[in-house]
Structure 1
Amino acid sequence: MNPQVHAVFDAATWTVSYVIHDGPGSACAIIDPVLDYDPRSGRTGTASADRLIEFVQAHNLRVEWILETHAHADHLTAAPYLKAELGGKTAIGEHITAVQGVFKAIYHLGPEFRQDGSQFDRLLADGDEIRVGRLVGEVLHVPGHTPADIAYRFGDAVFVGDTLFMPDVGTARCDFPGGDARKLYASIRRLLELPPSTRLFMCHDYPPQGREPAWETTVAEQRKGNIHVHDGVGEDAFVDMRTRRDATLEMPTLILPAVQVNIRAGELPPPEANGVAYLKIPVNAL
């Protein structure tokens, strides 16, 4: 069964969140929700997540899963807020434990922070089945951007996370801790071996001037026109391009606040004695 897909684009972080379902009154899953965060004030907000809630409630949907493609570096996840408002279980790829280990050291987190993935309700392995009512999904481990990236395949729709962008934008960076351009190339080729008509849904869009944001393409369109990895681009050429390009990129604006929240499944650090939660900003660590 192919899912119905509703997208919510967050212009502040260029992120696309999704609700997948099979019609009004059905079960649904939310993929990659965004919690608003203002780095100048340190304040969070729920405007983006509330748009997801409005859609779910307007169509009388039942949230069974809140799915993450990876621990994002460009936005904070709204999973705890949505779980409190709508229910559902949280899930992420099982290799999140490797990411937690790397960033536990970077943030110098104490022994109370567990790097076993237990902050999430379920850890998903390559090939795992995930059911959303009548929809049956498959988990695809697609490392490269980070060691823990996964994609979700439901029928003819694949939610690719940060492996691919729209064809005129290219592919994800690989210079975060644990990133690997050769692994990303292999992950992308795995996705592009799916049937040509397979719908691919992006987690982000950074449109070139003159184009409105977009987030849906197909395997055929990517194989023909992706500027980084169209058919005919070999592994060595891709790795060389990706390595040179990544060396020119600045760190995402929200990477330091976002990752320490996202490796906790979206929970803020525990409040200190004064009742306030604090985010750590390591200096000269990345």
Structure 2
Amino acid sequence: MSIETNIALTRPFSVKHYVMLMKPGIIMGNIVTAAGGFALASKGQVNPSLFFAMLCGLALVIGSACVFNNYIDRELDRKMVRTRNRPLAKGLVSVQSALIFGTIVGLLGTLTLALGTNLLTTAIALFGVFAYVALYTLSKYRTHYGTLIGSIAGAIPPVVGYCAVTGRLDLGALIWFVMIVCWQVPHFFAIAVYRLKDYADGGIPTFPIVKGMRATKIHMTLYTAAFVMAASMLTLCGYTGAFYLTLVLLLGGGWLVLAFKGFKCSSDHRWARKMFIFSLVIVMALCTAIPFSIA
């Protein structure tokens, strides 16, 4: 019996620990973009039961992926300040229990999507799990392009929401995918900058560590500009109206100005925090605006 298992067996069962394994913050963030994709495809005619099935199924599937991510990262998590209190890192849950839990949650999520939405939506969601667990989680130990690889998985939820309604992949789904891929690079590079020491201590070759701060800021600026252009395409291609485009230009322009300020900032840490917070504001605002700006 492993040390991790011995520690876990001495702890009382806690639902909280299993909830933490699923990373609720990540689930909520992805649910927001999934809801945005669903709202866009619904064109003002939302099917409540379909929406509920999509959200529940996707939340469970993402939660399952996060459990397996926690399993793979448990040794690394012990080395980093922000992750060392995670349940597997502290031995609050045994490895065996976590794997069983993650499998059951994943199966429930898959079943919910398959019965409540359609097979295409289910397949796309499962591809997202593969991209997150196999491609991203393992690649981040080997290459500084891990964040770029991880952006594929992060761009899956809005496509899931969109396809739950349409049952097909079309231009709208593609725009959503490209839009969120571009959004994630400055979002996660900002985390890598203000958590620079943490990642260095964990031995993770993030982009700022390998390529330096200037190269990181250049990439963040370029991807921010690409995000604004991709987000604008929803209006230019006739999916959303003027209200949405106005928000894209105002908020996206503000985010781009902030990205440029990074080249002359006095504190990379403070600047990166602002970039991170702004990234959350803009994606929340645009997803919330979509139901009120359907073309």
Q: Same fold (TM over 0.5)?
A: no
Which has the larger share of helix? 2
TM-score of the pair, normalised by structure 2: 0.35
TM-score of the pair, normalised by structure 1: 0.36
Which has the larger share of strand? 1
Higher Rg = 2
- The structure with higher relative contact order (CA 8 Å, sep 6+) is 2
